[in-house]
Structure 1
Amino acid sequence: MSTLRRITPALILLILSPLIAEFLLGDFNIRQLGYLAIFIPLYGASALFIREITRRMKRGWPTMLLLALVYAFVAEGFVNQTLFNQNYAGQHLLAYGFIPFLGTSLNYTIYILSLHVIWSISTPIALAEGIAGSRSKEPWLRNWELVFVGVLSLLGLAGTTASTIERFHFVASIAQYISVSVAILILIFLAFKIFRASNDTETDIKNDEQLISKAPSIWIIFIVSFILTTAFQVWFHYAPGHKLNALLGVIVFLALDILALMLFINWSRRVDWKTQHIVAAATGAVATYGWFGLRRLLVSGHTALGVPTTTIDLVGQVMLLLAILGMSYLALRRLRN
C-alpha cells in the first residue's frame, strides 16, 4: 500500500474536523479558509491523535467519546477559557445561568462540552473512518507520524492559549484550573480503565451483551440524530432568549444528552450494528450544523464573530454542506461494498 493511500483517511480527518467545527457552523465564512492553518493543528491534529491512540489501544467509541470530552475540557477550560471568562469575545456566553460560586454557567458548560464531543471530534472521526472502509478500525499512522501529529496538536493548543490570553486579557483562577485538571484526569482514567481493550466490531460495551434484536435502519439513525442535535442547538438559543429558568435549561440539556446516550448505547448492542450506523449518526449531526450555520449567515447577516455575509459566503456555505454530505455518501458506499 502506498504512503498516500495509507494516510488519506488521516489527511481527510485533519481537514474535516476544523471545517465542521468552525466553518459549517458559521463561525467563519468561506472567504476565511486561510484560518485552516490555525484550525488544523487546533482541531484536526487533536481529533486525529485521539482517534489513533484509541485504535492503537484497541478501544472503541466509549473511549473515543471520553477522550473527546477531555479535549473539550482542555479547549474551553485551558485554551479559550470560555468556561470562566464572562466576556469572551464580547459574547457574554455565561450570562444565562451564571453561578458566582462556581464562576461559570452550567448551561453553557454542558452546551460547549457537548459541542466539541459531537461535532469537533466524534463526527469527523466517524466520517473519516467510514471513508477508510475496511481500514476503519486500523491505525493509519506510523509511530513517528503519530508523534508529529501529537506535537502539532500541542502547538495548536498552546498557540491558541497564548493568543487568547493576549487578546482578551483573562486568566482563570488556580481553583478553576485545578477543577478542570481533576475532571480531565478522571476522564482519562475512565477511558482506559473502565472500557477494556477489545477486538470486537464496534464498541467496548458490546462484549457482554446478548445480541438478539436488529438495529434500526441507517435512515432512522440519521433522523433521530438530526432531531436530537437540532433540539440541542435550538434549545441553547431558545431558553435564554425567552428568559426561561436556567435550571430548566440545564435539565433539558442533560435530558437530551442522556436520551442520545441511552438510544445509541442500546442500538450499538444490536446484532447488525455496523460502522454505517455510526456514519449515519454523524451525518445527522452534520445536517444540523449545516442548516444552523446557513441560517446564521442568512438571518443575522454575519458570522458568529461579526464578519458581514456576502453572496459568496452563502454559496460557499451551501457548497461546504454538500461536500461534507457527499463524504458521508462516499463513506456509506465504501462500507457497503
Structure 2
Amino acid sequence: MLTPLIAELALGSTPVRMAWLVILWVPIYGAGVLLIRELVVRLGRGWPSILLLAAAYELVEDGIGLQALTSSHLYNAAEWGLRVFGINAPYWEANVIYHAIFTVAIPITLTNLLFPTHRGRPYLGRPGTVVAGVVALIGVGVLRLSVPVSEDPGYQAPLPFVLGSILAVVALGVIALAVVPRVRPIPNPLRFPSRAWLFGGAGLGVLVFFVLTFPMFGSRQPAFTHGPVVLLPMVAAAALVAAGYITLRRMSASPAWTERHTLAVIAGALIAHSMGGLVVMAHTTIDRVGLIAIIAITGLATWLLNRRLRHREHTPENIPAVTRTP
C-alpha cells in the first residue's frame, strides 16, 4: 500500500482531488514491488539486485504499460529533449531513478522498520509469490487500458521497442537474481553525521535531483536546457545518485548506524519529494493544499515512527540488522 501512496499521491502525479485512482495503481505498484522484494529475499540477494529489478519495473510501467518512453504526446514528455533510438532519454532517466528510490527502495525499507521481525524473511510462500506476479501483470493491463487510452488515444508503441523492453526486463532479472553476488559485508564503512544532517542532506539531494531531471518554472526541458545540452543535467543527476548510493551504503555498514539513522534519510527524502511535487506537479490550489497536508502528515508519521524506534532501542529484541538485507 505504501508504494502508490508515496510514488503517486505524495508526489502529486496522482492529484489529491483524484486520490481514488490510487486504488487502480495498487496492482502494479503494490504487487510489483512485493514481487521484487520476495524474489530478492528468497535468493539471498541485496540492494544492488533490488535496484536492477527497479530498472526492470520502470521499463514495464513506462515502456509497456504507459508507453510514455516513446509517445509523442503523453504528459508533454516529448518536449524533454534528447531521444535515443526513439526513446525519450531524459524522461527515462528521471523515472528510472525516481521509481528505484520512491517506488521500490523507500517502501521496502519503511516496511522493514514497521515490521522488523520479518526483515530478511519471505512474506509469502511460493504460490503467493506467483500470485503477486500475476497481479502485477494484471496491473500493467489496467495501466495500459486506463491512462494511455484517455491521455494519448490511438498511440501504440513500436513493436520492436515493446519486444526490446521485454528482453531488457528478462536480462535485468537474470543479472539481478543470478549474476549479482549474494549479500556480502561492505568493507571500509564511512563515518556519518547526526540524524539532522542526514535528514537535511537527503532532502537537499532529492531537490537537486528534481531540478536536474524535471522541467519546472515554465521550462520545457530539465534544468532549462535546449536540445542535446540536456545531456549535462542527465550526467549530473546520474553522478549525484551514484555518489549518494555509495555513500549511504558505506555509512550504513557502520556498526553505529541505527534504524533511526535510516529513518532520518527516508524522512528527508519523502518531505523534499513532496516539496518537489508542489513545484513540478501541482497545478491547482486544491492540489497544492493537498500536498502541503501530505508533507505535514509525512512529518508527523515519521516523528511517531522515530519515537517507536527510539523505544525499540531501549528494549532490544532479536531483530535482524536493517541495512544488510531487504
Question: Which category of TM-score, normalised to the shorter sequence, fits these structures?
Answer: 0.7 to 0.9
> 270-279 or 228-237: which moved more?
270-279
* Aligned residues of 2:14 and 2:22 also touching (Cα < 8 A): no
1:122 matches 2:110: no
Q: What's the secondary structure of 2:291's corresponding residue?
A: helix
Find the aligned partners of 2:211 and 2:306 in 1 and give their Cα distance: 28
2:38 — aligned with what? 52
1:180 matches 2:162: no
> 20-29 or 230-239: which moved more?
230-239
1:290 — aligned with what? 274
Query: How high is the sequence identity, in percent, across the aligned residues?
Result: 26
Question: Where do residues 12-161 of structure 1 align in structure 2 (5 Å cutoff)?
Answer: 14=1, 16-89=2-75, 91=76, 93-99=77-83, 102-161=85-144
* Aligned residues of 1:226 and 1:288 also touching (Cα < 8 A): yes
- Among 194, 206, 225, which residue is 2:185 paired with? 206
> 175-184 or 46-55: which moved more?
175-184
Find the aligned partners of 1:215 and 1:333 in 2 and give their Cα distance: 21
1:267 — aligned with what? 251
> 272-281 or 125-134: which moved more?
272-281
Find the aligned partners of 2:12 and 2:89 in 1 and give their Cα distance: 24
Find the aligned partners of 2:184 and 2:308 in 1 and give their Cα distance: 26
Q: Which runs of 4+ in 1 moved over 6 A?
A: none
Find the aligned partners of 1:154 and 1:115 in 2 and give their Cα distance: 21
Q: CA RMSD in A?
A: 2.6
> 225-234 or 184-193: which moved more?
184-193
1:192 — aligned with what? 177
1:201 — aligned with what? none
* Aligned residues of 1:229 and 1:288 also touching (Cα < 8 A): yes
2:303 — aligned with what? 329
Residue identity opposite 1:258 in structure 2? A
Q: What's the secondary structure of 2:115's corresponding residue?
A: helix
Residue identity opposite 2:225 in structure 1? K
Residue identity opposite 2:23 in structure 1? A
1:228 — aligned with what? 205
Find the aligned partners of 1:327 and 1:141 in 2 and give their Cα distance: 27
- Mark the CA change 1:260 to 1:137 in structure 2 (over 3 Å): closer, same or farther: same
TM-score, with structure 2 as normaliser:
0.82
TM-score, with structure 1 as normaliser:
0.79
Once the 2 structures are TM-superposed, how far is the Cα of residue 23 of structure 1 from its aligned partner? 1.1
Once the 2 structures are TM-superposed, how far is the Cα of residue 76 of structure 1 from its aligned partner? 0.9
- What residue ranges of structure 2 are gaps of 5+ in the alignment? 313-326
Residue identity opposite 1:242 in structure 2? F
* Deviation digits for residues 177-202 of structure 1 (CA, Å, limit 9, x no counterpart): 233233323321221233333xxxxx
- Mark the CA change 1:49 to 1:327 in structure 2 (over 3 Å): closer, same or farther: farther
* Aligned residues of 1:133 and 1:334 also touching (Cα < 8 A): no
1:319 — aligned with what? 293
1:247 — aligned with what? 231
* Deviation digits for residues 76-106 of structure 1 (CA, Å, limit 9, x no counterpart): 11111111112114x1x1323233x511232
Find the aligned partners of 2:261 and 2:50 in 1 and give their Cα distance: 16
* Aligned residues of 1:127 and 1:331 also touching (Cα < 8 A): no
- Mark the CA change 1:314 to 1:79 in structure 2 (over 3 Å): closer, same or farther: same
Once the 2 structures are TM-superposed, how far is the Cα of residue 318 of structure 1 from its aligned partner? 3.0
Once the 2 structures are TM-superposed, how far is the Cα of residue 117 of structure 1 from its aligned partner? 0.9
Find the aligned partners of 1:134 and 1:221 in 2 and give their Cα distance: 25
* Aligned residues of 1:216 and 1:267 also touching (Cα < 8 A): no
